Structure 1
Amino acid sequence: MALLKKWRDMAYSETADKGSLQKLWTEYFQKERDIYAVLLKNPDEVVKGTVKELADKYGVDLMTMVGFLDGINDSLKEQNPIDDMEEDTEVNLGFDKELLYKNMVNAGADWLYNLPEWEAIFDEDKRKALYKEEKASHTIRKEEKVYPNDPCPCGSGKKYKKCHGKNK
């Protein structure tokens, strides 16, 4: 069975009791935070290795590394073959800094996008801009409806029904 399926079955189990799932996620988030803290110290270095080698390098178990690779994959410059991943699959952690930051914001992972290591990568204004850009990208804006007796939005001074709304 592919490692990713094992991870997802375990982490998103509908049969496991809530207490053990909560414990799993609490431990995972702490380990994830620690890995990101190390990665963000050298953001331009592309870390490569097998899934097992990276798990050993960051001092986590194999399943935690699989979960980490699942989470970071959308932020990588070159995505890993996570669906078919096994212990000896070669993977890389070469991430796009802006995309990673935005994906952390989108996930609501404040323990990640507020890591102090980001301060050396982006100044406060840039972090705020990326945060706003990500939040705005999910906001749906409805155009204001123009009614027949409203002034035409083109600025002619005529009523909409006598101007651009004539043929509608």
Structure 2
Amino acid sequence: MSLLENWRNLAYGDALDQKQQTELWNRYFEVEKGIYEQILSAPETEVKGTVKELAEKYGTDVQTMTGFLDGISESLKDYKNPIETMEEDTEVRILIDPEKLYYNMVEAKATWLYELPQWDSILTQEKRTELYRAQKASGTIRREGRKIYPNDACPCGSGKKYKKCHGKNA
């Protein structure tokens, strides 16, 4: 069984009871936050090494590192790690695409990650707001033909009234 299969069975399977699964995820989120704090402090730097070396570098176990690599895989620039088949000695690379990563963190509702202070030096507040709204709008169902009134919620998904958002220029 591959590392990824082991991780997914542990994290999403029924091998653990509710309390153990909660503890697993709480530990994972703490480790994940620490790794992202380091990666986001030098977002243009590519991180390379085996799965085991990266686990050691970030002070975690191989299983948790596997979960992290699975989670970040859609947010990397131009390179895809062999997530499905990787083993402890598989060479992997991490070079993030900051906009994809931020968008994906919003999609995962990971406030503890997309609110990290490191984002201030990577993406402007305007860009983060734009990505946040774009992600939230991606899940919004819009009905055509319905009149939007000034005090209705804006259909872009911002949470603002239409008159204060996209209705300003209408």
| CA deviation vs aligned residue, 1:22-59 (integer Å, no higher than 9, x gap) | 00000000000000000000000011111001001111
Report deviation, 1:15.
4.0
Is the radius of gyration larger for structure 1 or structure 2? 1
| CA deviation vs aligned residue, 1:107-136 (integer Å, no higher than 9, x gap) | 000000000100110121211111111111
Structure 2 CA distance for aligned equivalents of residues 79 and 115 of structure 1: 25
CA RMSD of aligned residues (A): 1.0
Change (3 A) 1:15 1:52: closer
Question: Residue in 1 aligned with 2:109?
Answer: 108
Question: Residue in 2 aligned with 1:71?
Answer: 71
The two structures have a TM-score, normalised by structure 2, of: 0.83
**Runs of 4 or more above 6 Å deviation:** none
**How many equivalent pairs are there?**
145
| CA deviation vs aligned residue, 1:51-90 (integer Å, no higher than 9, x gap) | 0010011111111100000000011121111000100111
Report deviation, 1:142.
2.0
Unaligned runs of 5+ in 1: 146-168
Report deviation, 1:140.
2.0
The two structures have a TM-score, normalised by structure 1, of: 0.84
Unaligned runs of 5+ in 2: 147-170
Question: Residue in 2 aligned with 1:138?
Answer: 139
Structure 2 CA distance for aligned equivalents of residues 107 and 57 of structure 1: 25
* AA of the residue aligned to 2:126: D
